[in-house]
Structure 1
Amino acid sequence: MRVKREDAGNGQVALHIEVESEEMERSLDRAYRRLVGRVNVPGFRKGKAPRVLVERYLGREVLVEEALERLIPEIYEQAIQEQGLEPITQPQIEITRRDPPIFTARVALRPPVELGDYKSIRVPYEPVEITQAQVDEVLERLRWQQAPWEPAVRPVRFGDLVTMDVENSVDGGEPSSQKNIQYQVMENSSVPLPGFAQEIVGMTADQEKGFSLAFPTEHANKDLAGKTYAFKVVVREVKEKRLPELDDGFARSLGQGFDSLEQLRDRIFSDLLRRAEVQAQERYEEKVIDSVVELANVELPPLLVEQEVAYLVEEQARLFQGGEGGVDAYLSRIGKSEAELKEELQPVARKRLMRSLVLSEIAARENIEVAPEEVEAEIQDRLSRAGHGVEEARRRLSSPEGRRSIEQWLLRRKTVHRLRDIAKGERPEEVTRSSQFQDGGKR
């Protein structure tokens, strides 16, 4: 193997690698041994045909592809070790000859991080406050949830539950109909279409009404733009919620051990406070990280940004469609080209990378580490909350990849907690192995 290293600029390196014929021949022989048991060569039992016949039967290019699939990653790993490189990206491989192979591997190296005076950062923490109006809002939602639907002999209002028959068509096409569907009439609802709920308000039981909903060609929703939907609706029944009295009896009716309305109010208050504290802590830590990153100077290698953007595209497609359809289907759904989406995600990718690199550098400066017992404790904590999927969770979390992921998560959390302590002016000189966020809101 011959390797020529080239500084590609911007923190990137190109390795021009040429594999010798002898190494390629050994790789081809290993490829033959993997393939021979999977093919049926006429006149030979499976796995017994000599290489020359397997190569003739399949074609040499098949053996070459099988060989390169493993050879190139192996040669690449040898090359970066010989060159003493620690790439921060996956290699970008360009093959210029296949047999024996000549290829170029382009990688980005971890860029130097110039930290500012992060220990001087101070970010004010705003205490959490919960108002009685927030408690009352939760109580009203509970009343609504507990209230039964009862028939209402009056015109439809927002909030009612309506049973109705619906016939509809699009742009004068073939109509479709549904019988006895239940529809809750909400003022800001866009189901089934914007404006539909407003047409139902004021109707009475056994009333029939026809109406159309037309959408301009420049409408933001491309599925609606330029179309006209015609509806014929017959209201069969109108129901309303009869809210229970807000008293001690209501608190007891929830079946959660409350003896009085005051106990229920106290529980709601504490639950709201706990959630608000968590959200406030998250917002505070985000501000602290932003403040630290603003002081830092990092030149991001273009290849690193490119790969992060590609990851974000894949992640958005997966989350949006539940893993179905892939990137092309996602792009079609949102009405953007891949280039447009990648351009849109550039700032997001750069922000994520800056944060990751800066936090990693601070962890090293502050000698923050994660002990094996901390990883194990986190695994056990997650398993205790895994429910019925505990065995699958155990397999995933206990794998080398799972443990490495948890270690990285713990390291980031401890680093952020260290920065949080600095930003609040607490123990700025102390380096701890485990820092937990104990701050809370004020009642």
Structure 2
Amino acid sequence: MKVSCEPIEQCQVALNIEAEAIELDKYMKLAYNHLVGRVAVPGFRKGKTPRSILEQHIGRGAFLQEAMEHMIPDLCSEALKDQKIEAIDQPSIEVIQSEPVKFKVVVPIKPSVKLGAYKDIRIELVKKEITDDDVEKTLEQFRSQKATLIPVDRPVQFGDVITMDIEAKEGDKTVISRKGAQYEVVKDSYLPLPEFSEKIVGLAKGGEIEFTLTYPEDYKIKQVAGKEYQLKVNVGEVKEKKLPELNDEFAKEAGQDTVAALKEQIKKSMQETVDARGRQEFEQKSLDSAVDMSDVQYPPIMKQREIERILREDVKNFPDGVKGFERYLKSINKTSDDYPKEIDEIAHKRLRRAIVLGKIAEEEGVKVEEQEIDAEIERMVSGSERQEDLKKFFNLPQSRDSISETLLTQKALKVLTDITSGNAAESK
């Protein structure tokens, strides 16, 4: 075969391949062997039709097509091996002509990345301390969740819970239509629409109101920016929240002996949450800073695979899988064709982060040892009643590779954040 090879944009290599006559003849013979037993020709038993008769019967084009289905993948693999090209996914193949057989192969290869001066990045890990006021606010929310609803004969106030019939239209399209909906009237709430709750305050049981909510083009909530809604609301029952008394009995219901112990537990839990969030934001800023100063290229198929991965992750969030996901898309006026376009940028960012972090791991000599994978498997199965079954699964080569990738990412991110926080320099 004749092969010409040239690199093209986005980490791809183009191969132009022309099959030699001797190669085509070999695969035409192979095609004959495949077809002769499948095609019935009048006057001949299956498997006994001469090649020239069989080719005349089905047409040279069909014969050639059968030959190329086997020849092209074989020649493609041979060309990749000869040219020492390592494909990271299936190549795309385009047949240029059939006689002589010429075809073009576009091969996705490893992404390329030129790191910036990531060792010069410095970012402060901001630590927020939970205050007594934070604890009191959380405690009030907890009490609110445990509140008793008492019907009242007065106009609606903030903090009340009402039942209502609501209809909202955007032009001729109905976007909300519910009977007997329960709604908590919270000041500055964005639900069901911004500024809605303020319109409800002051209405009495049985009261009805029609109003319009208009949002400017530059409104902070993009979903409603530049839109206008016509609403009609009829208030049913009005209920007031009666909060439970904050005492040791309340604390016991929450799993603590005293109010003081409950507050301490809330403060500890909130601090752990805010510390984890702060650390996550710090890691994200560190990685994004490294990504922003790097030149990253990757083949298009990688983004397509990442979009597919994100879709699979999203579908898993619905108990009934794809059907539930499609219902959700329909509820937000989207289709399964729209969604991949919306997550295109998310996939792009995830890829760039992963590629840069992988390169940093390589530069810094970060590795994962087999014993680290073993230890992680032990941690993952700890406490399970099916430890042996899980161990067998996690010790499969594919599972171990996945665990290794996760550990490598964690270790590389730790190295990067040590650098960006200045800890790496201090330890030298």
Decide: shared fold, TM above 0.5: yes
Alignment partner, residue 132 of structure 1: 132
3-state SS, counterpart of residue 82 of structure 2: helix
Structure 1 gap segments, 5+ residues each: 432-443
Alignment partner, residue 240 of structure 1: 240
Structure 2 gap segments, 5+ residues each: none
Query: What's the CA shift string for 1:92-137, capped at 9, x where partnerless?
Result: 3322236885321223444654445544554433334222222122
Equivalent of residue 363 in structure 1, options 357, 361, 364: 361
Residue type at the aligned position of 1:412: T
Residue 242 (structure 1) shift: 0.6
Residue type at the aligned position of 2:241: K
2: CA distance, partners of 1:309 / 1:291: 21
Alignment partner, residue 441 of structure 1: none
Aligned pairs for 1:133-282 within 5 A: 133-165=133-165, 180-189=180-189, 191-192=191-192, 196-205=196-205, 207-213=206-212, 225=227, 228-229=230-231, 231=232, 233=234, 235-254=235-254, 256=255, 258-282=256-280
Alignment partner, residue 404 of structure 1: 401
Does 2:418 match 1:421?
yes
1: CA distance, partners of 2:233 / 2:314: 34
Q: Mean alpha-carbon deviation: is it higher for 5-14 or for 153-162?
A: 5-14
Residue 152 (structure 1) shift: 1.9
Alpha carbons 2:361, 2:412 under 8 Å: kept:
yes
Does 2:363 match 1:372?
no
Alpha carbons 1:15, 1:106 under 8 Å: kept:
yes
Residue 269 (structure 1) shift: 1.4
Residue type at the aligned position of 2:284: E
Q: CA, structure 1 residues 226+143, in 2 after alignment: closer, same or farther (shift >3 Å)? A: closer
Residue type at the aligned position of 1:252: K
Q: Mean alpha-carbon deviation: is it higher for 313-322 or for 14-23?
A: 313-322
Alpha carbons 1:320, 1:330 under 8 Å: kept:
no
Aligned-pair Cα RMSD in Å: 5.1
Aligned pairs for 1:291-302 within 5 A: 291-293=289-291, 296=294, 298=295, 300=297
Residue 276 (structure 1) shift: 1.7
Q: Which TM-score applies when normalising by structure 1? A: 0.69
Query: What's the CA shift string for 1:313-361, capped at 9, x where partnerless?
Result: 55676677775559x9899739x9899869x83xx66654443333323
Alignment partner, residue 333 of structure 1: 334
Alpha carbons 2:368, 2:408 under 8 Å: kept:
yes
Alignment partner, residue 5 of structure 1: 5
Q: CA, structure 1 residues 209+351, in 2 after alignment: closer, same or farther (shift >3 Å)? A: closer
1: CA distance, partners of 2:289 / 2:230: 51
Alpha carbons 1:156, 1:238 under 8 Å: kept:
yes
Residue 275 (structure 1) shift: 1.5
Residue type at the aligned position of 1:160: D
Query: What's the CA shift string for 1:252-299, capped at 9, x where partnerless?
Result: 122x2x111111111111111212222222222223324444554x36
Does 2:309 match 1:306?
no
Q: CA, structure 1 residues 228+79, in 2 after alignment: closer, same or farther (shift >3 Å)? A: same
Q: Mean alpha-carbon deviation: is it higher for 80-89 or for 154-163?
A: 80-89
Alpha carbons 1:88, 1:108 under 8 Å: kept:
yes
Aligned residue pairs total 407
Q: CA, structure 1 residues 120+12, in 2 after alignment: closer, same or farther (shift >3 Å)? A: same
2: CA distance, partners of 1:162 / 1:151: 9
2: CA distance, partners of 1:253 / 1:97: 78
Does 2:17 match 1:14?
no
Query: What's the CA shift string for 1:147-167, capped at 9, x where partnerless?
Result: 121222221123322234557
Residue type at the aligned position of 1:211: E
Alpha carbons 1:30, 1:67 under 8 Å: kept:
no
2: CA distance, partners of 1:101 / 1:386: 58
Q: CA, structure 1 residues 173+421, in 2 after alignment: closer, same or farther (shift >3 Å)? A: closer
3-state SS, counterpart of residue 334 of structure 2: helix
Q: CA, structure 1 residues 15+196, in 2 after alignment: closer, same or farther (shift >3 Å)? A: same
Alpha carbons 2:168, 2:229 under 8 Å: kept:
no
Residue type at the aligned position of 1:279: R
Alpha carbons 2:41, 2:54 under 8 Å: kept:
no
Residue type at the aligned position of 1:213: T
Residue 199 (structure 1) shift: 3.8
2: CA distance, partners of 1:121 / 1:351: 19
Residue type at the aligned position of 1:413: Q
Query: What's the CA shift string for 1:403-430, capped at 9, x where partnerless?
Result: 3333222212111112223334445598
Q: Which TM-score applies when normalising by structure 2? A: 0.71
Q: CA, structure 1 residues 366+92, in 2 after alignment: closer, same or farther (shift >3 Å)? A: same
Alpha carbons 1:31, 1:67 under 8 Å: kept:
no
